[in-house]
Amino acid sequence: MHEATKAPKISFFDYIVIGGGAAGIPLATTLSDKYSVLLLERGGSPYGNPNITNVLNFGSYFSDASPNSPSQQFISEGVVNARARVLGGGTSINAGFYSRGEQKFNKEAGLKDENLVNESYEWTEKVMVFKPVVQKWQSALRAALVESGVTPYNGFTNDHVIGTKVSGTLFDENGKRHTSADLLQYANPKGLSVLLHATVQKILFKTKGRTRPLAYGVVFEDSLGNKHMAYLKGGDDDEIILSAGALASPQLLMLSGIGPKEELDAYKIKVVLPQPFVGKGMADNPMNSIFIPSPITVEPSIVQVVGVTKFGSYIEDAGGFDFIFTKPSAYQRFSPQMGGFFIEKINGPLSMGELKIKNLNPTDNPSVTFNYFKDPKDLQKCVYGIKTILKAIQSKPFAIYKYGNMTSKDILDVNLILPVNQRAHANTSSSLEQYCKDTVRSIWHYHGGCRIGKVVDDEYKVFGVDALRVIDGSTLLNSPGTNPQASVLMLGRYMGVTILGQRLTRERHNKK
């Protein structure tokens, strides 16, 4: 890894990968085996930062608004969200829960080679996934979910299965986080160049004398504001691959001249290719949480157990943690160390919005709407999820962690006072539907904006353009599994192996 300030003014590579996150690192690492690859990451290194690496510091960065924070806040419809700004992407700042996607995802994502899917998961898991040490709070949750009907109990498995299970985590037995940056140990050091604090301004295209625009380079800035140019060497199979995430990938396409024409015209961006679907189909799985005050101290733990319901809600939890990342006084007469959060997120979702650029600065957040709960089916899943959580709270296995005299309504009312979002609402619960709307949060699983079938084909090539792909969460139609990081990591490796194999086959054929 090098700071972008040390990069030459002009450089040439077989592949340029934009974004060192869950997809970009496995992709660049794989391609470096045979070809020269430049990996550009706008953030810094996750190593040596205890806020990132130590489980007990989880979430401390969400309130850090400094330009070097690994997390960049954005707000949509009163819901506070975060986009990663660090090597490792979301794997460096998330809650670490690791669970593979369902078969439906493989079909939607065009991943036809089942053996390669499994090998790609295993490739990741060998380096950065661990079996969690389940203690009392998580064990109580596990038993409470089973008693509440989230069955069967499936034990420990990384597979997506209906029922209650323990799944993998990025935190090892010492509470140390392992991120996708750890996958760089697989890289060919002679083939891969990783630049930190390298902010891509735009992708460059050749259009003269061509029926289709050809991506041939990128302009990026280092931390001092100096501009650098990186170009493809010009081989027939050389490519630029956008892996900058659900916000930055559609944003960068627009800033580079690919997007809805009226939007590009409004900012006087030269239109390379009018593409009305860029930025469309943005979705974020709404999360709702319930804090349960406990009469006894709860050992700190973040997500290790999940209940995968038949009706499309996933139930997880965090114990002994401030999971709303606020000041202790917000809990009034309670404290996060004396209690824990049950978390419910819905699958899909069906509700969607859009992303628009606000200016020409790629470091600024675009404008995003997700239209939380616009589709009534999403709201119904949330209601079922909250009902299941309330049932679990009242179950026998959970009795030691709940005040005996607190009713379900008392617990909901405590939660309506907590500052979980910026929405105005009443301080007492009127219905579970209203509770879902009033306390909606993000679980950082937003996706869309460069959807497969609309912006990219089933090989992730951008429609109408040569030498450009998008491979990351912006292509997803639904958030896979209970938590998407496993699937996005797998997608990066899968597509790296696929691209490598296709190119080597073509080169061997041409030599004959």
> Is 242 within 8 Å of 469 (Cβ atoms)?
yes
State the chain's maximal CA–CA distance in angstroms: 80
Half-sphere exposure of residue 196, counting CA atoms within 13 Å on the CB side? 16
Query: 224: Cβ–Cβ under 8 A, 6 or more apart, which residues?
Result: 5
**Strand arrangement, sheet containing 199-206:** 10-13, 227-232, 214-221, 199-206
DSSP letter, residue 76: E
Sign of dihedral through CA atoms 7, 214, 248, 182? negative
Cis bond upstream, residue 50 (ω within 30): no
Backbone angles phi, psi at 168, to 5 degrees: -65, 165
> Is 249 within 8 Å of 242 (Cβ atoms)?
yes
Tokens coding 177: 């986080």
Backbone angles phi, psi at 163, to 5 degrees: 115, -165
Sign of dihedral through CA atoms 65, 67, 70, 75? positive
Backbone angles phi, psi at 107, to 5 degrees: -70, -50
Helices (H), 256-375: 261-266
**425 among known catalytic residues:** no
> Is 255 within 8 Å of 36 (Cβ atoms)?
no
168 by DSSP, 3-state: which? strand
Q: Pick the catalytic residue: 160, 197, 228, 445?
A: 445
DSSP letter, residue 38: E
Residue found by looking up tokens 């592949």 in the block:
15
Active site residues: 445
